[in-house]
């Protein structure tokens, strides 16, 4: 026996879950994903989402509505006669008519330990906040923002140097396994849900461009966490060079360093930079229009002497 599944997802994070669901013998009757968006080298071609491409490989019908609020889109969704919808980083709000359509409901795989970090960017926010633990949870969706009851969870340690990309890659594999275990329990009738705690709710707002600028006024630990929480994408940045020709430099990896001084001041010839308390050393950077490189390689072409102010 297998479940009739509608899969709803968009980025790379969702692909392993789709693959595992198919591998477990469930019938994925439709895939819903973001509509193709301009991309490519010059942004002139329409690029399909990673989930869209995976669905094509498996020969699954793909639907890309701009909204699910219209009656026509909702009728199309209902017509699939799914037992369950599995939602992983889809990107559209599911109205009540869609949530109620599958006979066994809509299950969401969320990349945090709810109720901490509800919302759009839980992986980045956990690291930026200095959390020592994250995880994935299977939740039954309701009309709120990640407020539904939770059935299963897996915890993952956030190590001191782990960045958002590394945590993302670990959670997407752990999450795929968790979701297929949840579907197996759902099929047996043994999946049980518990309400989320009312204490400890935090929100993981979408990352804004302004947040990506490094503010050295914080402690060295806060600056380090901020940078690794934005690595490798979208990437924290500083500006470097004379006032008349400032250039953006992405900072992708740092380590806590010794020393102190006015925040943003370079302390030595190896890119140790003073913070509000302590210092960080820039280890991996990416100049505008170039590839990722070590700070040592960057300094060979762009000397940054001690006393330089970064911002």
pLDDT value at position 44?
A: 74
Q: Look up residue 206 and give its two tokens.
A: 């979408």
Token pair for 246: 């400032």
pLDDT at 298: 96
Reference 230, options 162, 146, 174; nearest CA is 162
Cα distance between residue 163 and residue 15, in whole Å: 21
Say which residue the tokens 């477990």 belong to. Answer: 24
Distance CA 311, CA 293 (A): 20
Q: Compute the distance between CA of residue 182 and CA of residue 218 in angstroms, rounded to an integer.
A: 42
Angle between the N-to-C axes of helices 164-188 and 15-23, in degrees from 0 to 180, rounded to the nearest 10: 30
Contact by Cβ (8 Å): 156, 133: yes
Q: Determine the pLDDT at residue 39.
A: 79
Per-residue buried b or exposed e for 295-308, using 16+ beta carbons within 10 Å of the residue's own CB = beebbeeeebeeee
Let me know: does 3 contact 86? Beta carbons within 8 Å: no
Kindly report the length of the chain.
311
**The two three-digit tokens of residue 11, written as one number:** 């980025």
What kind and span of H or E run contains 238?
strand 236-240
**Per-10-residue mean pLDDT, the chain, length 311:** 95 98 98 90 84 98 97 97 98 96 98 97 98 98 96 98 98 98 97 97 96 97 98 96 84 97 96 98 95 96 92 78
What is the per-residue pLDDT for 43? 67
User: What domains are defined for the chain?
Assistant: 4-203 (3.40.50.170), 210-301 (3.10.25.10)
* β pairing state of 27-32 and 62-63: parallel
Give the bridge partners for 6, in sequence order: 30, 85
């Amino acid at each position: 026996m297998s479940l009739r599944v509608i899969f709803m997802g968009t980025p790379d994070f969702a692909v392993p879950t789709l693959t595992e669901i198919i591998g477990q013998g469930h019938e994925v009757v439709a895939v819903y994903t973001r509509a193709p968006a301009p991309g490519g080298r010059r942004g002139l071609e329409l690029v399909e989402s990673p989930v869209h491409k995976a669905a094509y490989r498996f020969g699954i019908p793909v639907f890309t509505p701009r909204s699910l609020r219209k009656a026509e889109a909702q009728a199309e969704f209902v017509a699939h006669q799914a037992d369950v919808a599995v939602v992983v980083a889809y990107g559209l709000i599911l109205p009540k008519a869609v949530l109620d359509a599958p006979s066994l409901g809509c299950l969401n795989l969320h990349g945090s330990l709810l109720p901490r970090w509800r919302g759009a960017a839980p992986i980045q926010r956990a690291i930026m906040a200095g959390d020592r633990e994250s995880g994935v949870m299977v939740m039954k969706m309701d009309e709120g923002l990640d407020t539904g009851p939770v059935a299963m969870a897996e915890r993952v340690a956030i190590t001191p140097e782990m960045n958002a990309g590394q945590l993302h890659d670990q959670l997407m594999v752990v999450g795929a396994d968790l979701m297929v275990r949840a579907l197996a329990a759902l099929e047996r009738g043994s999946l049980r849900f518990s309400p989320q705690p009312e204490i400890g709710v935090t929100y993981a707002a979408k990352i804004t461009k302004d947040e990506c600028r490094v503010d050295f006024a914080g402690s060295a630990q806060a600056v380090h966490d901020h940078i690794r929480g934005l690595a490798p994408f979208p990437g924290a940045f500083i500006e470097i060079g004379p006032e008349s020709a400032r250039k953006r430099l992405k900072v992708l990896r740092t380590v806590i360093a010794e020393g102190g001084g006015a925040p943003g001041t370079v302390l030595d010839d190896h890119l140790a930079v003073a913070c509000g308390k302590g210092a960080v050393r820039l280890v991996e950077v990416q100049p505008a229009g170039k590839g990722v490189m070590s700070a040592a390689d960057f300094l060979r072409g762009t000397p940054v002497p001690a006393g330089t102010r970064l911002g």
